[in-house]
Amino acid sequence: MEKILLQGEISRNTQKRKENQKSGKRSVPLIKPWSSHEIWSFLQEWEFLEHEVYFGVKNNLVISRAISQRLHQRGIKKSWKKCSHMLTSLEDLYWTMREANKRPRSEPLPYPYGEALHRILGHTQKDIDL
């Protein structure tokens, strides 16, 4: 009896999947990447919050939530989780490139959003060096 129920469930799920494929619906939601405009807006909000509101606060969760709210005011719908992920990714990029550029070479390696990231995170390097 259990096998019959399971087979019935499987066939219903298979049929739903086929119907979704025919109608063009995706069973997995599409994750939209951040546009350049959205990233620049994110950086502007982060810089404002870092210097004006949360100077010295190391809690990325608080900052991510505030950035998400400010982006919503600009009409950019990003969850605090997406903002948290972006914040962490940009911090990683900044510190990785900063280390790479300490190595001797003819000129520093360029990286996207480098100047904005340095304005936001550059002051934290002084705290680490002390």
pLDDT in tens, 30-46: 678 999 999 999 999 99
pLDDT in tens, 48-106: 998 888 777 778 899 999 999 999 999 999 999 999 999 999 999 999 999 998 988 88
pLDDT for residue 27: 57
The rounded distance, in Å, linking the Cα atoms of 43 and 50 is 10
**In a 3-state reduction of DSSP, which class is residue 26?**
coil
**Residue 97 amino acid letter:** M
R_g (Cα) of the chain, nearest Å: 22
The rounded distance, in Å, linking the Cα atoms of 102 and 99 is 5
Q: Contact 85/61 with Cβ under 8 angstroms?
A: no
Q: What share of the chain is helix, strand, coil (3-state, %, to 5)?
A: 70, 0, 30
**Residue 27 amino acid letter:** S
